[in-house]
Each structure stands twice: as C-alpha cells, then as structure tokens.
Amino acid sequence: MKFLKFLFSKVFFLNLFIALILVIVGLFVLDNHLDTLTNHGEKVVVPNVKKSKISQLEEVLVEKGFRYEIMDSIWDRNLPKGIIVDQKPIPGDSVKQGRKIYLTINSRSDKMIKLSIGSIVNGTARTREALEYITTIDLVHDSTILVPHDFDDMVLGFKDSKGKDLKDGDKVKAGAKIWLVVGQDVGKKVRIPNVLGMRLKDAVKLIKNNLLNVNLIESGDGACITGIDSTVARISMQRPTCHENIGIGKEISLFYTCDTTFNISTKCK
C-alpha cells in the first residue's frame, strides 16, 4: 500500500519530472557536442610515406596523428632494404584523424636461395637449361668456364663469384653472380651471332647460349641515366663482329645505348 501511495504522490511526480528534464537536457547536449567529441567531419590528408624508412615514420605519420601497422613485406634486390613500398589508404586520401595506415615494406634482410642443382650437374643438362634455371631462381650468370670433357656442352658444376664450388642444397644470396662449369671440346669454334639492334637482355642470352662470355659497355651517349634498362637498351655495336668464327668461351664485347632515336645498323661490318 505504501508503494502505491508513493506512485501517486507529489514527490514521485516531482522526481519523474526532474528525471525527464535531465534526459531531455542530456540528449540535447549529446546531439550538439557528439560531432565535436568524435571529430565527426574532420578529415586529414594521408601523407606519402612510400620510399621512406621505418625510422622516419615517427615524424611523418605518428606526429601528425596517424597510427601505422606493417602488414606485409616483399623482397626486391633493386630497392633499398627496409623502405616502404606500398601503403593503404593511398597518399592523398582524406581520412579521419587517428586512422591506421597499413604498410608493405621491402625486406630488411637478404633473400637466400636454396640451390636444387643435383639433377643438373649429375645428369645430362646442357648450358641452355642451366642458364634458364639460374634466371628462374633470381641469380645472375656471370661467366662460363670450359673444361675438357668427352661430351660437348654438358654442365659439370656451379661456382660462386669467388670460385667456390656450389653443391646441391647450398644457399646463396638472391642476385648473386654464378659461374657455370661446362664440359667442351676447347678447340671447337662457334659462329658469332648477329645481335645488332636487339634488346640488351635478349642479346646477352643469345651470346651465352652459344657458350660465349659477355662484356657490356655503354656507348657513351649517357642515355641510360638510371643504369642498364633491358627494355630500352639496344645493341649498337659488337666486337668481334658478327658471323666470325671464334673459340667457345671467348668474350664478346656488346656496346649498348638507351637512345631510342639512334639509328642502329643491323648489318655485320
């Protein structure tokens, strides 16, 4: 009975009225200040951190109110170690302050390649097959060493740039230079192919497939500003000239240019 009397008393209705007033005032304040409290509508531009080092992110991102997380890494031997190669959101996007930026970096350690050459040096693999294998696993063929053997063009071994014999299962740094040891009749001669006007990459491959070594020389016009670009560089001259007969294992000098306006004669001289 006392509870029922309280529900219909002036005190109850007074408290109910005060509570309603407080709720209405609270909703009004919340509605008017929620945007300010949550920074609603305030956008900031995402800075470009590509090519930046990890050590620079504090200044470039954190001090500007961003957070970051390294989500992935790649390995590209042509890029500096540990730099940012990609970011999401992309540079220039407008985002809310405090947004997390997800980063992809170039690995800070060298990629190591495990050699699988047992079937090459113990089988019947030819130079062309060994060269294709070297390219596929991101190594670089430097030179071919010819040794007397009963069978021509048979791969007998791999060496590193210091002349150390490499075995199946050995690990070498990606991009390392590799020497091939090939059995051959050292008195045998081959006809030098014509590579004039060819792309640099294709010309080098053709010369090496003919068991000849390569010496690369830029023509001196300075067109290859950023170094050798195999998609642009073309062979402008070769010495000895094409179609001459030469002993296998000899060196061919290839002169290249990145000047796309240069008129290259493809006739042997």
Q: Could you tell me which residues come within 8 angstroms of residue 137 by beta carbon, excluding any fewer than 6 positions away? A: 113, 115
43-106 against 110-186: fold identical: yes
* pLDDT tens per residue, range 212-224: 999 999 887 667 7
Q: What is the C-alpha separation between 111 and 77, in angstroms, rounded?
A: 8
Q: What is the C-alpha separation between 146 and 156, in angstroms, rounded?
A: 10
| pLDDT in the model for residue 196 | 94
| pLDDT in the model for residue 116 | 94
Q: What percent of the chain has pLDDT over 90?
A: 37
249 contacts 211 by C-beta, under 8 angstroms? yes
| pLDDT in the model for residue 259 | 86
**CB-side neighbour CA atoms (13 Å) of 213:** 15
Q: Could you tell me which residues come within 8 angstroms of residue 252 by beta carbon, excluding any fewer than 6 positions away? A: 192, 207, 212, 213, 214, 215, 238, 239, 240, 246
Q: Please, which pLDDT band fits residue 36 given cuts at 50, 70 and 90?
A: low
Mean pLDDT lowest among 33-37, 142-146, 183-187? 33-37
How is domain 43-106 classified at the architecture level of CATH?
Answer: 2-Layer Sandwich (3.30)
110-186: CATH topology: Trypsin Inhibitor V; Chain A (3.30.10)
Mean pLDDT of the chain: 84
* pLDDT tens per residue, range 41-76: 578 889 999 989 988 888 888 888 899 999 998 888
How many CB atoms are located within 10 Å of the residue 21 CB? 10
Q: What percent of the chain has pLDDT over 70?
A: 83
With respect to CATH, is domain 188-269 assigned 3.10.20.30?
no
| pLDDT in the model for residue 197 | 93
Q: What is the C-alpha separation between 88 and 75, in angstroms, rounded?
A: 19
| pLDDT in the model for residue 110 | 86
Q: In the beta sheet, which residues pair with residue 199?
A: 234
| pLDDT in the model for residue 228 | 59
- Residues 77-82, mean pLDDT to the nearest whole number: 86
For the chain, give every domain's residue range.
43-106, 110-186, 188-269
